[in-house]
Structure 1
Amino acid sequence: FAPVFRASVALSLPIPQELWGGRVMEKRLQEAQLYKEKGNQRYREGKYRDAVSRYHRALLQLRGLDPNLPSPIPNLGPQGPALTPEQENILQTTQTDCYNNLAACLLQMEPVNYERVKEYSQKVLERQPDNAKALYRAGVAFFHLQDYDQAQQYLLAAVNRQPKDANVRRYLQLTQSELSSYHQKERQLYLGMFG
């Protein structure tokens, strides 16, 4: 008798796109939140470069899930499975927190990249126009970029939301001093030209 070999055939049923996409989205949302928490921990430890790396990784996990952005990954993002309202909330909150935290980290690193601080703060303010921390950080960035009119606008909004915050008040005073000095020099220049 010759041995009988039976080929075992595993049934491979296709997983519906909605389930696969939903699982992938859920996993990426969870991983993004985990990276964000690790970034927060590194920030508290004063390890700002490592924190920046974690926040960027969190944002990479979310890339393609945001229905407002074009997706680099097929079947995810606007043309893929839709996010539930809860997932949409997690996505928006995690992105906003990461951008806000990136701005905070960059302000602690030398040399400070004020253009990036401005960019990240403005991304936060697009979604949360009343975010006092983002208003303050945008004001600081504009101050150091010597755009004192914009700095004053952001810092006035920040001081209205956090009137007792000494840092906000200090930067507002510095900005107003620079504006006053600038306007005085401007007046003297015009007096010299037309006086």
Structure 2
Amino acid sequence: MSSTAEMEATGREENPNAQGAAAAAAAEPSTSGHRRTYTKPVWSLLEEAAQMKTEGNAFYREKNIRSAIGRYHRALLVLRGLDSDVMTSVKGFGAETPALTPEQEALLRNTQVDCYNNLAACLLQRQSVDYARVQEYSLRVLKWRPGDVKALYRAGVATLEMGDAQTAKQYLIQASREQPNDANVRKHLQRAEEKLNRELQKEKAMYRGMFSTGPKNSSGEGIDQTNRAGEGV
């Protein structure tokens, strides 16, 4: 298996004969009475989205991260109108979601997963990384494909950078079970463990300070300063 730092760059859904098109045009609905339907067949929309993903992969390999991100977003915009999970929340508005065959549903979800995985990879390549967005995209992948090692790795990295070492450790442990020899997973798992250890040491030091013996009063009793925080002026 390839390194978790790499992008999800392949998939059977790639169709070299599909024509790339703007997302708005690809998903443009037409009005018929009070119901709206798509002007293009479902397969055509799925192929256009897959082609955009393929173009995004090519831009990524060329280190053209901005263009790659644009292609993945356009692909997801096309697929959005076909996704019953998305359209259910806005039922009654916009276009009617077409019924998909099991094969079309699988192609839709695989393309979405690859695009979100690849978007997370792209964002990690930027000079200023939006870790919240990396985490969001990675968790979307895990929702549809639990155990995806690249999404687990990226979710772990993003969560660690956002300050939650405990949750990051859990993601990275899962990733390490799938790829125990991956250097990137091991490195960030070690970072998470070191951060947790530092936090534990700080917590212990804090409690030692709170419960250590304080100065004595005239009767010989210890004065617990922590219990007198609300007293005085």
* Equivalences for residues 56-71 of structure 1 within 5 A: 56-70=73-87
The higher-RCO structure (CA 8 Å, 6+ apart) is 2
TM-score (norm 2): 0.71
Equivalent-residue separation in structure 2 for 1:152 and 1:172 (angstroms): 6
**Equivalent in the alignment of 2:198:** 181
User: Residue 44 in 1 paired to residue 44 in 2?
Assistant: no
User: Residue 74 in 1 paired to residue 95 in 2?
Assistant: yes
Query: Does the 8 Å CA contact 2:131/2:161 hold for their aligned counterparts?
Result: yes
Equivalent-residue separation in structure 1 for 2:69 and 2:211 (angstroms): 52
Equivalent-residue separation in structure 1 for 2:80 and 2:151 (angstroms): 22
| 3-state DSSP of counterpart to 1:190 | helix
Equivalent-residue separation in structure 1 for 2:94 and 2:115 (angstroms): 21
| 3-state DSSP of counterpart to 1:164 | coil
One-letter amino acid of the structure 1 residue matched with residue 105 of structure 2: E
Equivalent-residue separation in structure 2 for 1:26 and 1:98 (angstroms): 18
Query: Does the 8 Å CA contact 2:38/2:95 hold for their aligned counterparts?
Result: no
One-letter amino acid of the structure 2 residue matched with residue 127 of structure 1: W
Equivalent-residue separation in structure 2 for 1:52 and 1:21 (angstroms): 26
**Equivalent in the alignment of 1:156:** 173
RMSD across aligned positions (CA): 1.6
Percent sequence identity is 51
**Equivalent in the alignment of 1:170:** 187
Deviation at 1:22, TM superposition (A): 8.8
Equivalent-residue separation in structure 1 for 2:154 and 2:38 (angstroms): 37
Q: 1:99 pairs with 116, 136, 153, which one?
A: 116
| 3-state DSSP of counterpart to 1:68 | helix
Q: Structure 2: give runs of 5+ residues left out of the alignment.
A: 1-36, 213-233
TM-score (norm 1): 0.85
Query: Does the 8 Å CA contact 2:49/2:79 hold for their aligned counterparts?
Result: yes
Q: Structure 1: give runs of 5+ residues left out of the alignment.
A: 1-19
One-letter amino acid of the structure 2 residue matched with residue 29 of structure 1: L
| Greater fraction helix | 1
Equivalent-residue separation in structure 2 for 1:39 and 1:21 (angstroms): 25
Question: How many pairs were matched up?
Answer: 173
**Equivalent in the alignment of 1:89:** 106
